[in-house]
Amino acid sequence: MLKPDGLRSAIGDQYAAGFSRSVYSAAGISLMDATGTRADAYLHLLPLMTQGRVELPPDPTLRIELMGLQRRVRSGGRDVIDHRPGAHDDLSNAVALGAWSALQHAASNDNQCVVIYSEVSSEMERMLF
């Protein structure tokens, strides 16, 4: 999906990192580690959403996943954001990582607009950050 658009790299979290890296590598795409955890990405997504700086696609799966996230504070005050047992967060995790990566890219590139295309519900939705 990335190669036709001329992209040679992607950003991913640590979930199944070795497997993911080998799959991407076999397709000729470099998979780079996200700069933080999944919880970090979710914590950065919330203000982007409340400030209207991110436009989410109207996807029911994404909505369910985002609304199902739970925030807990571990000892030492560290926030953990995760899905409920048995639930999924694949799509919401990808969106959060994409939004956070776009924010970091914009901060290091004079606030240029970043457009990310994502295949959601079998059609291409455009998300502006």
Element (H, E) at 33: strand 30-33
How confident is the prediction along the chain (129 residues), in pLDDT tens digits per residue? 555 566 677 777 776 667 777 877 888 888 888 778 888 889 988 888 888 888 888 889 999 999 999 988 888 888 888 888 999 888 898 889 888 888 877 666 665 555 544 443 333 333 333
pLDDT at position 57, please?
Answer: 83
pLDDT at position 109, please?
Answer: 64
pLDDT at position 129, please?
Answer: 32
- CA 18 from chain centre, in angstroms, equals 18
3-state secondary structure 90-111: HHHHHHHHHHHHHHHHHHHCCC
Hey, where are the domains in the chain? 1-33, 36-128
DSSP character at residue 84: P
Tell me the pTM.
0.71
Asked if 115 and 61 count as a contact pair (C-beta separation under 8 A), the reply is no
pLDDT at position 112, please?
Answer: 54
